[in-house]
Structures are given as structure tokens and as C-alpha cells.
């Protein structure tokens, strides 16, 4: 359950950051283009850079975080509470907004629970508006006077640690933590919870940041999938070329995770390839102006500032080559006969990597099967509600349309699946989180959003019911 809770935390961070990525990218483009060292320096447009990073971006994070906790009232409280941090601090309050936004919303939520059912008829609007205003005012004053200095001190400590890490050359060692965490579907905790806030802070000061690339470099994953394309066996060899397109061009890194889980030794090519990529980035002093979301090579190139293209490409290519060579060596010297299917290999590896938790597909068989004749709304859910679930939902809806069946099939983050959904399709690793929120809902667990026996079974049931 600890792992599920950690994933839920990562999902919350993702839901707070991802909706605002367009704004961060917009700021990144303005920075890359119009600052004095940009592509087309412009004194007027350059004036947008500082206010956007000082006020707009933290406020957007606070709004999203507050809304996740307590809807529109929480969003308003989050913005007002966070504004005290912004005004009272000399540093950019990205981390502060990600803390104060949800915290402010939580305070309003607790007050609303306290007075629920106790407001006289006709006074609801007065109480709601004034209570929100008073609580938000108190939060803003507290954040200005007390919380802001604490967060500012913590920010200074983090900045000092970052500087020391870079100067001592230990930054590549982060790959030892990054890569195992990523393939265990904790990538959002790392990116949205750690590296993106650090990258935002660094980019605001230097115009670019290497932290946007510490865990998002698509090179290592590309090398791994290339190795499977050339030297893999069975289903892994057949599916790897398609996975390359989705991973490297589409930026959906989750597509290569099952290949590592199938053969755990592959984590070493990923770690070493990623570490070598970081070393090359450091050597060239390369960085991106904003977080590449999704982690596509196109996003990398689009967010590369002037004078950094050689370093960026060199880091990606290095990670690819190192990962490919090591992964190829493992595949060529492997003693297994290749008869075991990819899905079963993933299932076995996942069981070993989840601290003995039995979250295998067999659990699905013990659940009471509900009739599908009343199911009209199928939700595909992943950690962020993007990438793998979007691809899976689109593919499944097309399969239904080919047989003349019309169902509502949509993709969501696991925490944002609507109550209207009749059935939920999600990865086996997210089963705990799905059950926590939907204890009485039918949940179909899968290993692969694009090709999975349980998806095929679901399709057959719907087909038989409709026909």
C-alpha cells in the first residue's frame, strides 16, 4: 500500500503540473527568443519574462493544486494564500505554490465540512463568500509573515545542494535512483515532485536548466528498444519497432518500461546510458528552457536554447549508443529460450519488484464479474491521464467502432476518473489506487494498454453482449 500511496502522490503532483505545462513552455519560448542572449533579443518582450515566472506560473500551480483538493473554492484559496508567499519572498515560489496551494484548499475544505448542513436557508451565499474571503486572507497573511521565510530558507538549502552536486560531478549518479523508480511507475514523483521545480528555479535564474533532462532523456530508452528490435526474441522483437515511434517521437516513455520489467538486467544499460548522457550534458553546459512534456525528441529540440543544440544532441546520442550496446550484449548472451510471452514475463517481473505484493492478473479472476449489457462508459486510466491511457482508449474505441458498437471510451488520470464511468481499465500497478477510490466498480487490470489478453477478453464480452 505504501507504493500505491507514493504513486498517488506522484499522480497528484502530475495533475497539478501537467495542465500548466503549456504555460511553462510558452514562458520557455519567450525566454529562449527574447532575452539578451536569445535567438532574437527584444527589450520589450523581454519584460514579460520576470513577471511571468514571478507571479503567473506559481499562481497557476497554486490554482491547479487548490482545485484538485477542493474544487473552485480550493483554487481561489490556493491563489490568495500563495500570493502572500510570492510578495513576501525574493525567490521564485514554484515549490511554495505546490505546497501552499493544496494546503490553503485543505483548510477551506475542513471549514466547509465543519459547517455542512448548519447554514440557515437563504444565507448560503453570504456564508460561503465571506468564509472563503476571511480564510484566504488569514492564509495569505500567514504565508507572507511566517510560511514564506521557511520555504525561502528551504529553497536556499536546495539551491546550495544543487550547486554542490553539479560542482562535484555527482549529478550522473542520480540515474541510479531515477531509472529504477521510472520503470516502477514512480516517474511522476521524480519529475513533477523533484526535477521540474528545481529546473524551473534554475531556468528562471540562468535561462536554462539541466534538471529538465536528468530523468527525461529519451536516448537510453531508444537504445534499449533498438536492442530489442535487433536482438530480441518473440513478441518483444515484434513490438519494439512500434514502441520506438511511441517513445522517441511521441514522448511516451512508459512504453519501454515493460521491456525492462521483462528482463530486470536491462536496468543496468538504462542506468549507465542515462548517466553517460548526463555527463555529456554537463560537459557541454547544456540545458532546456522548460520541462519537455511529453519527453519527445521534438520537445527536446523545441525547448533547446541558442547555442545548446550540439550538447543536447550529443547527450541524447551518447545515452542511446551506450544503452544499445549494453542491452544488445545482454540479449545476445541471454540463456532463456524466448518462448515465454512478453506479457507473462512482465507479470513475473512486476511481482518481484512490488515487494511481494500479489497484484497479478489472477486477482481479477476472483472479482465478481458484472454484466456488461449496462456498461456504456469505459474509462482508461493511467498515472497522468495522458500517453498510455490515451493511446489505449483511442485504440479500443476504434476496435468497437469496427464492429458497429458505440461506447463512451475516454482516458483519465487514475484520481480523476469520473463517477459516471461504468468500468475502469488500468495498469496492474495502479490497482490499489483504483480500488481505494472505486471499491465497488468493475476494474479491468492490464499489463499493456495496446495489446493485452484482458483487453481482448473485454472486447469479446462487449461484442457478444451487443450481438
Distance CA 344, CA 357 (A): 16
**85, 143 contact by CB (below 8 A):** yes
pLDDT band with cut points at 50, 70 and 90 for residue 274: very high
pLDDT, mean over the chain: 80
Query: In this model, does residue 355 exceed pLDDT 80?
Result: no
**251, 221 contact by CB (below 8 A):** no
Query: In this model, does residue 305 exceed pLDDT 70?
Result: yes
pLDDT band with cut points at 50, 70 and 90 for residue 82: very high
Query: In this model, does residue 117 exceed pLDDT 80?
Result: no
- 358-377: average pLDDT: 44
Q: What is the pLDDT of residue 390?
A: 78
First to last CA, the chain: 40
Nearest to 91 by CA among 149, 37, 146: 149
Given the residues 79, 107, 276, 382, select the one marked as catalytic.
Answer: 382
Nearest to 95 by CA among 239, 245, 199, 240: 199
Distance CA 41, CA 49 (A): 12
Query: In this model, does residue 369 exceed pLDDT 70?
Result: no
C-alpha cell at 30: 519567450
Nearest to 57 by CA among 156, 152, 207, 197: 197
- 323-345: average pLDDT: 73
More confident residue, 158 or 406: 406
What are the helix and strand counts (H, E) for the chain?
Answer: 22, 4
- Most confident range, picked from 9-13, 189-193, 259-263, 358-362: 259-263
Contact partners, residue 253, CB within 8 Å, separation at least 6: 182, 187, 216, 218, 221, 247, 294, 295
Query: In this model, does residue 178 exceed pLDDT 80?
Result: yes
Instruction: Confirm whether 142 is a catalytic residue.
Output: no
Nearest to 143 by CA among 94, 87, 73: 87
pLDDT in tens, 434-446: 877 777 788 888 8
- 263-291: average pLDDT: 90
Strand spans (E) along 15-82 = none
Give the CB-side neighbour count of residue 35, counting CA atoms within 13 A.
19
Query: In this model, does residue 135 exceed pLDDT 90?
Result: yes
**155, 239 contact by CB (below 8 A):** no
Query: In this model, does residue 361 exceed pLDDT 70?
Result: no
Q: What is the pLDDT of residue 105?
A: 92
Peptide bond into 294 cis (omega under 30): yes
Q: What is the pLDDT of residue 1?
A: 46
C-alpha cell at 121: 436557508
Percentage, residues of the chain above pLDDT 90: 22
Q: What is the pLDDT of residue 343?
A: 59
Contact partners, residue 172, CB within 8 Å, separation at least 6: 274, 275, 276, 278, 279, 282
Q: What is the pLDDT of residue 360?
A: 28
Instruction: Give the C-alpha distances (Å, rounded to integers) separating 283 from 161, 166, 205, 221, 243.
Output: 19, 11, 20, 21, 30
Question: What residue spans of 143-266 are helical by DSSP H?
Answer: 148-168, 175-181, 187-190, 196-206, 219-231, 234-244, 257-262
For helices 21-34 and 196-206, what crossing angle results, to 10°?
20
- Most confident range, picked from 23-32, 125-134, 222-231: 222-231
The fold of 362-466 is Rossmann fold (3.40.50)
More confident residue, 392 or 363: 392
pLDDT in tens, 88-102: 887 778 878 888 999
- 261-289: average pLDDT: 90
Residues of the chain with CATH 3.40.50.2300: 362-466
pLDDT in tens, 410-419: 888 887 888 7
Amino acid at each position: 500500500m505504501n507504493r500505491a500511496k507514493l504513486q498517488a502522490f506522484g499522480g497528484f503532483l502530475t495533475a497539478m503540473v501537467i495542465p500548466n505545462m503549456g504555460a511553462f513552455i510558452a514562458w520557455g519560448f519567450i525566454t529562449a527568443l527574447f532575452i539578451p542572449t536569445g535567438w532574437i533579443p527584444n527589450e520589450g518582450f523581454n519584460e514579460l519574462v520576470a513577471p511571468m515566472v514571478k507571479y503567473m506560473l506559481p499562481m497557476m500551480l497554486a490554482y491547479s493544486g487548490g482545485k484538485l483538493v477542493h474544487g473552485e473554492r480550493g483554487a481561489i484559496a490556493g491563489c490568495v494564500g500563495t500570493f502572500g508567499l510570492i510578495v513576501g519572498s525574493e525567490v521564485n515560489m514554484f515549490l511554495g505554490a505546490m505546497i501552499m496551494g493544496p494546503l490553503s484548499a485543505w483548510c477551506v475544505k475542513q471549514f466547509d465540512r465543519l459547517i455542512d448542513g448548519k447554514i440557515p436557508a437563504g444565507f448560503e451565499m453570504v456564508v460561503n463568500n465571506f468564509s472563503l474571503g476571511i480564510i484566504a486572507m488569514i492564509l495569505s497573511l500567514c504565508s507572507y509573515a511566517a510560511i514564506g521565510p521557511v520555504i525561502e530558507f528551504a529553497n536556499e538549502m536546495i539551491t546550495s545542494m544543487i550547486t554542490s552536486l553539479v560542482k562535484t560531478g555527482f549529478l550522473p549518479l542520480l540515474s541510479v535512483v531515477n531509472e529504477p523508480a521510472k520503470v516502477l511507475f514512480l516517474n511522476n514523483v521524480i519529475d513533477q515532485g523533484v526535477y521540474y521545480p528545481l529546473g524551473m528555479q534554475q531556468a528562471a535564474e540562468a535561462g536554462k536548466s539541466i534538471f529538465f533532462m536528468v530523468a527525461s532523456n529519451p536516448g537510453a530508452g531508444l537504445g534499449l528498444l533498438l536492442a530489442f528490435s535487433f536482438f530480441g526474441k518473440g513478441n518483444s522483437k515484434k513490438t519494439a519497432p512500434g514502441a520506438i515511434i511511441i517513445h522517441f517521437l511521441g514522448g511516451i516513455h512508459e512504453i519501454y518500461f515493460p521491456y525492462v520489467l521483462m528482463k530486470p538486467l536491462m536496468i543496468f544499460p538504462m542506468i549507465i546510458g542515462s548517466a553517460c548522457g548526463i555527463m555529456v550534458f554537463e560537459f557541454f553546459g547544456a540545458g532546456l528552457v522548460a520541462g519537455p512534456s511529453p519527453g519527445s525528441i521534438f520537445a527536446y529540440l523545441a525547448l533547446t536554447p541558442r547555442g545548446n543544440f550540439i550538447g543536447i544532441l550529443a547527450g541524447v546520442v551518447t545515452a542511446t549508443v551506450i544503452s544499445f550496446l549494453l542491452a544488445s550484449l545482454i540479449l545476445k548472451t541471454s540463456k532463456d529460450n524466448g518462448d515465454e510471452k512478453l506479457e507473462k514475463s512482465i507479470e513475473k517481473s512486476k511481482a518481484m519488484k512490488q515487494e511481494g505484493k500479489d497484484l497479478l492478473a489472477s486477482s481479477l479472476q476472483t472479482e465478481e464479474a458484472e454484466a456488461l449489457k449496462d456498461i456504456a462508459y469505459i474509462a482508461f486510466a493511467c498515472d497522468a491521464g495522458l500517453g498510455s491511457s490515451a493511446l489505449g482508449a483511442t485504440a479500443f474505441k476504434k476496435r468497437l467502432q469496427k464492429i458497429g458498437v458505440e461506447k463512451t471510451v475516454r482516458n483519465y488520470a487514475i484520481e480523476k476518473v469520473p463517477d459516471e464511468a461504468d468500468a475502469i481499465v488500468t495498469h496492474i500497478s495502479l490497482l490499489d489506487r483504483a480500488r481505494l477510490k472505486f471499491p465497488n466498480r468493475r476494474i479491468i487490470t492490464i499489463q499493456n494498454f495496446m495489446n493485452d489478453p484482458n483487453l481482448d477478453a473485454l472486447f469479446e464480452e462487449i461484442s457478444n453482449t451487443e450481438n
